Amino acid sequence: MCAAAAGRKRQMIFEEKTLDSEMIYKGAILNLRRDKVTVMTGTSYREIIEHNGGAVAAAVTDEGKLVMVRQYRKAVERVVLEVPAGKRNDGEDPLDTVSRELREETGYSAEKIELLTAMEPSVGYTKEVLYVYLATGLTPGETDYDENEAIEVVEYDFDEVYEMVISGKIHDAKTIIAVLMAEKRLRGGKELR
């Protein structure tokens, strides 16, 4: 052990206890609450977004194409290329969510849907959990967009999307995780096609 590391004092992890909780905002998609918590120096406040979470589909065709969507995202003020995904309804099984969202956004149904991971996109301020699935054995069908959605469905060679992720051209976290997890599962050390 180096001298600098040996000289540092080990600090134990301090669990913050909630002393009070106030709902600041209740919305259609999320809620925002403010918790008063204990910290090592006394008390502090944490703002927490409550969200039902969602499900994400890395949907790969038999031809090795990744089915993606392009849509305008107001939070970042631009069109984003991303994998199909959507919010879970109250108490909905994430597998049902991903099947519904894949069909609604792309028209595809999947013969096989396999859980790749569950991820917490930003533990500093939200309880949201996204379930990431690999969807294969795709059958095309009709889309069924929500009335306020304007989505363009596009298909890219999986290798091309993987390179876009690695080179930093894709910024959407759920898409990055879905592509990296799917790449590992699909290749298993071999070429995709």
Q: Name the one residue in this structure whose structure tokens are 């001298």.
A: 3
Tell me which of 15, 77, 111, 147 is the catalytic residue: 147
188: CB partners within 8 A, 6+ apart: none
Secondary-structure percent of the chain, ordered helix, strand, coil, rounded to 5: 20, 40, 35
Sign of the CA dihedral with 136 first, then 128, 121, and 72 last? positive
Distances from the Cα of 190 to the Cα of 1, 64, 92, 140, 157, angstroms: 40, 13, 35, 27, 16
Tokens at 5, concatenated:
């590391």
DSSP E strands, the chain: 18-26, 30-39, 42-51, 54-60, 65-73, 78-82, 85-87, 109-119, 130-139, 152-157
Does 147 qualify as catalytic in the annotation?
yes
Catalytically active residues, by annotation: 147
